[in-house]
Structure 1
């Protein structure tokens, strides 16, 4: 069984030309690397996607997306840390996994292809309308 590698993905900060780098766990596969955790900052990729990479100074950097998994990634920024765990539990009951970042109010959510995005979106819109969180669609895998 192949073991995980750290894959680095550069992304632009907001609308600026400045970049940051996020590291994501990936598994080597025949034609590249399969992303194996939910991205927090990078847009356009989700867990399960296969990407190509090149080595630069001993580090692996993503070059391009080769194959999409159909998964979607949503980022939630909570108004209060108190709502994080109950929201994660609700999303889990709806079929979605999630991870909390190093910022305790930032949660990244994976929506598998078999889960209805309309149901998840209705839940997210409701929470946003109640002021519990803001959310961003970082990658919609069904498009």
Structure 2
């Protein structure tokens, strides 16, 4: 397993970083994503993709998805007065994976293919109704 870097397009100050580092298994020029990304649009855990790192800085600027895993990805950001901590047990009990970028109160939620999508939808609707900022950059359910 190796850590690779993706260059990110910053628009209106978001994302708050210019590069995201993710874990991948590599076979030739094909990578398989091993963690839920915080800012990379179009990839979810387990997706396979091809890419050529930039010769100068080693970052990936473009990729082509070879095979989708069936996983979905949800991004959740805490808002003023809201914390995701009280809901983490419920998310984990649904079978979701949770990664946190604590500095920005930003969560990457992995939704495995075999999950009860109705229960996940109910949970995500509740979190949105409470006021959490949410995005669904990869939704396959």
**What range describes the TM-score normalised by the shorter chain of this pair?**
0.7 to 0.9
Range with greater deviation from structure 2 (81-90 or 43-52): 81-90
Partner of residue 84, structure 2: 84
In structure 2, what is the Cα distance between the partners aligned to 1:44 and 1:102?
Answer: 22
- Distance apart, 1:128 and its partner CA: 1.8
Return the structure number with greater strand share.
1
Cα RMSD of the aligned pairs, angstroms, is 2.5
- Distance apart, 1:11 and its partner CA: 4.1
**5+ unaligned residues in a row in structure 2: which ranges?**
none
**5+ unaligned residues in a row in structure 1: which ranges?**
none
Partner of residue 27, structure 2: 29
In structure 1, what is the Cα distance between the partners aligned to 2:64 and 2:31?
Answer: 10
> TM-score scaled to structure 2, two decimals?
0.81
Alpha-carbon deviations, 1:85-113, whole Å to 9, x = none?
A: 22222111100011111435211100000
Partner of residue 71, structure 1: 71
The 4+ residue runs of structure 1 with deviation greater than 6 A are: none
Q: Among residues 48, 51, 54, which one is paired with 1:53 in the alignment? A: 51
> Number of matched residues?
136
